[in-house]
Amino acid sequence: MSQMRVAVVMPGFNVGPTVERALLALEPFVGDGIDAVIFIDNNSSDDTRERVGQIQTRNPVLGPVLTRIENARNHGYGGSLKIGLAYVLGEDFTHCLFLHSDDQGDNAQIAADFLKVLRNDPEVGLILASRFHPQAQVGDYSLIRLVGNRFFNLLIRFVTGVCQSDPGTGITGMQTRLAAEAPYPHFSNDLFFNLMLNVFLLRKQEVRCAETPLHWVDSSIGSTVVPWHHVVTMFTLLLGYGVRRLRGHPGFVDPHSPRTHWLEDYPHTIFSPYPNHKGQT
């Protein structure tokens, strides 16, 4: 593989209290593994965009590599990742890292772990930061959430054939050439985007996967996930996947259905240090 160029994609919604910490954790890696950071503000109503804007204009390390994208309306967590991924795929980055902005993990440790994997084996296609890795620390994770996630991991393995310890994790790294092959515009606009993308990539036989331990803490930002709604939606999603596969169709979505101008459905404005990437989309 040619020289790596790594971009971090970080979505956020009302993460004013934590976003600076999440972004500043990446400072040591700028120019030493991380080449760009793309923050997508999902129409926050607090001071998230102002805080990110201040880092852009005042931080001499992060500012020159930090792009801020502001969604015109709430496109959902998955919708924000679609926008960020489309931006990254439009450039010559070799790898993309999805990180969080709400303190659910130590971004400095996660970035260090991901970059170590890539330096040791640049051909790894997908890296999952796993809550269920033997070295993971999930002391703040409630027992019911641990049991529930382990149950769904087994269900995912049964339905999809994917045998990773945490296939639904949203903290991941991937080769952009592989992500470009995914029908990601068709994937969910909510938290299930990660599961759908991970399963798509993991089912590609040529994709090598690595897992790193995630040191998880509950975010100080209130969760927007409604537990029972999440459970029902997950069951429905996996049931539909299983039925489609039994009928010989693609898994979560039909990758052949046209979505030529899909990005027009996700209006946003780009504030970038790169002159060719400023303005509305």
Taken in order 114, 214, 75, 209, the sign of the CA dihedral is positive
Decide if pLDDT at 113 tops 70: yes
The predicted pLDDT at position 213 comes to 94
Helix (H), strand (E) at residue 98: strand 95-98
Alpha helix positions (H), the chain: 19-24, 48-58, 76-89, 107-120, 143-160, 176-179, 192-202, 227-246
DSSP state of 90: T
The predicted pLDDT at position 256 comes to 60
The predicted pLDDT at position 13 comes to 97
Query: What confidence tens digit (pLDDT) does each residue in 231-268 have?
Result: 888 888 888 888 888 887 778 876 566 667 899 999 99
The predicted pLDDT at position 225 comes to 53
* pLDDT band of 52, cuts 50, 70, 90: very high
**Phi-psi category of residue 275: left, alpha or beta, with phi > 0 → left and psi -120 to 50 → alpha:** alpha
The predicted pLDDT at position 251 comes to 80
The predicted pLDDT at position 132 comes to 87
More confident residue, 152 or 74: 74
Decide if pLDDT at 50 tops 90: yes
For the chain, the domains span: 6-280
Residue percentage of the chain with pLDDT more than 70: 90
Average pLDDT of every residue of the chain = 89
Q: Which residues contact 171 (CB under 8 A, 6 or more apart)?
A: 98, 99, 100, 105, 110, 128, 129, 214
Q: Which residues contact 176 (CB under 8 A, 6 or more apart)?
A: 88, 89, 93, 94, 95, 96
Average pLDDT of the segment spanning 63-68: 97
**C-alpha distances out from residue 274 to 39, 55, 62, Å:** 14, 16, 13
For residue 189, count other CB atoms closer than 10 A to its CB. Answer: 17
The predicted pLDDT at position 227 comes to 67
Decide if pLDDT at 144 tops 90: no
Both tokens assigned to 44: 């926050």
The predicted pLDDT at position 205 comes to 79
DSSP state of 105: B
Q: What is the DSSP string of 2-47?
A: ----EEEEEEESS-TTTHHHHHHTTGGGBTTTB-EEEEEE-S-SSS
Both tokens assigned to 219: 């975010």
The predicted pLDDT at position 2 comes to 63
* pLDDT band of 89, cuts 50, 70, 90: very high
* pLDDT band of 152, cuts 50, 70, 90: confident
Statement: 6-280 belongs to CATH 3.30.870.10: no
Average pLDDT of the segment spanning 34-40: 98
Query: What confidence tens digit (pLDDT) does each residue in 186-227 have?
Result: 999 999 999 999 999 998 878 999 999 998 776 555 555 556
The predicted pLDDT at position 278 comes to 63
Separation of alpha carbons 148 and 151, rounded Å: 5
Q: Which residues contact 261 (CB under 8 A, 6 or more apart)?
A: none
Of 62, 68, 59, residue with least CA distance to 35: 62
Q: Which residues contact 195 (CB under 8 A, 6 or more apart)?
A: 156, 167, 168, 237
- Which range, 132-136, 156-160, 194-198, has the best average confidence (pLDDT)? 194-198
